[in-house]
Amino acid sequence: MSALAACSLLSPPIREEQAPAAAPVPVEPPKPQYAPPIGTHRFEIDAAHDDVVGQVQVTISSKEDTLPDIARRFNLGYEEIVRANPGVDPWLPGAGKEIVLPTQFVLPNSVRQGIVINIAAMRLFYFPPTKPGEKQVVYTHPIGIGRVGWQTPEGATKVVSKQKDPVWIPPASVRKEHKENGEILPARVPAGPDNPLGKYKFTLGWPSYLIHGTNKPYGVGLRSSHGCIRLYPEDVEKIFAMVNPGTGVTVVNQPFVFGWHDGELYLQGFDVLEDDKRDWSKSQPKLLSKTLSKRIQTELANRKATVDWQRVAQITKDPRGLVLSVSTPERSEDVVIAAAPRVENRIPQGANWDGADDPALQAQSDVKVMVQEQQQAPRS
């Protein structure tokens, strides 16, 4: 009996089974905070000293976005946003992709009054009249320009008249081209969604050339017209309200534009237009020297500063449309983009567009056709 008792004393105690410990709940990392987007179309400048307006920004694409969607949201054109984002599919950028917004601009080397258009930049600048003591204001918007073979002219003219809900009377040359392509254009196109002039037009002193809206808004930022200058519908409406007959219009072709900002010299580069007759490949240094305004040259001398021409050559070889310093060369594209504010992917406060569109206007899919036509156009 004692032996049995000893055995029972030596047996291990019975333990109750315990439930396995609960797996830790994963903690999602905090979502990055993005700032509100910065306005992209109206700026105040010190006209005597400043040549640069705006700021480069970066936003994040959504699953549904295309680059043309984002471009219009931030008042950019097709070529501007595609050029600034090499390697990004314009039609399927994908969710969570960082998209560079080239919303900083060097003002053209030109007069600063009335309408100034840089066809190489595919951008319009409007300098309204100012009163003594007032700061100069500039409005800027992307534009569509004439296709190869239908170049937008350069030079000075003026607004002769303006009209709401215009009728389009296609020139004989345009009707002939359409006929050769199997399309019969009527002699008169009434106001409405089929009218390529959109809802507003300015008649210029140059016969047959206009500044107008469009029924193909996603073609803004492309060489998509017969020489006229196209604006987004929301932009031409605002310009129409501000600009009156008699306003001067200056058109320049400046693929490389220098300007001062905060004591530094900057350069913004664009693709040279296919029909630009200047030989930029062989005569680039000479041509670029000519683009330096007398004021910039004077300031260079006064500041005892120099242009880093090696840096200039790098920028002009493969331009992305970003405003880059050529007096502080360590500020590379990567540095500028890294320092740019990360902003919400939405229309900036105070923008002309409210995000809505007339359902009668032609679809974004038309842009693909325009892009293909532009890429297939003969180069002169």
pLDDT of residue 1: 46
Contacts of 348 (CB under 8 A, 6+ apart): 36, 37, 38, 39, 40, 74
Return the percentage of the chain with pLDDT > 70, whole number. 82
Q: Which amino acid is at 172?
A: A
93, 61 Cβ separation under 8 angstroms: yes
Q: If residue 101 lies in a helix (H) or strand (E), which one and from where to where?
A: strand 98-101
Mean per-residue pLDDT, 266-280: 87
Reported as a single tens digit per residue, the pLDDT across 109-133 is 999 999 999 999 999 999 999 988 8
162 half-sphere exposure, CB direction, 13 A CA radius: 21
Distance between CA atoms of residues 259 and 57, nearest Å: 20
Catalytic (active-site) positions: 212, 228
Alpha carbon 369 to chain centroid, angstroms: 20
pTM: 0.85
pLDDT of residue 357: 74
Residue 267 has pLDDT above 80, yes or no: yes
Reported as a single tens digit per residue, the pLDDT across 330-369 is 678 999 999 999 999 999 999 999 988 766 565 565 666 5
pLDDT of residue 360: 57
Name which residue leads in pLDDT, 36 or 175: 36
pLDDT of residue 302: 84
Mean per-residue pLDDT, 22-42: 80
pLDDT of residue 377: 54
* 31-354+361-375 fold: L,D-transpeptidase catalytic domain-like (2.40.440)
Q: Supply the DSSP symbol for 135.
A: P
pLDDT of residue 373: 59
pLDDT of residue 5: 43
Q: If residue 69 lies in a helix (H) or strand (E), which one and from where to where?
A: helix 67-73
pLDDT of residue 56: 98
pLDDT band at residue 86 using 50, 70 and 90 as cut-offs: very high
Beta strands 229-231 and 136-146, pairing class: antiparallel
Mean per-residue pLDDT, 99-110: 97
Distance between CA atoms of residues 201 and 162, nearest Å: 6
Name which residue leads in pLDDT, 218 or 28: 218
Reported as a single tens digit per residue, the pLDDT across 218-251 is 889 998 777 789 999 999 999 999 999 999 999 9
Helix intervals (H) in 292-377: 294-303, 309-317, 333-339, 365-376
pLDDT of residue 364: 61
Alpha carbon 196 to chain centroid, angstroms: 22
Cα diameter, the chain: 126
* Cα–Cα–Cα angle for 251, 253, 258, rounded to 5 degrees: 110
Residue 283 has pLDDT above 70, yes or no: no
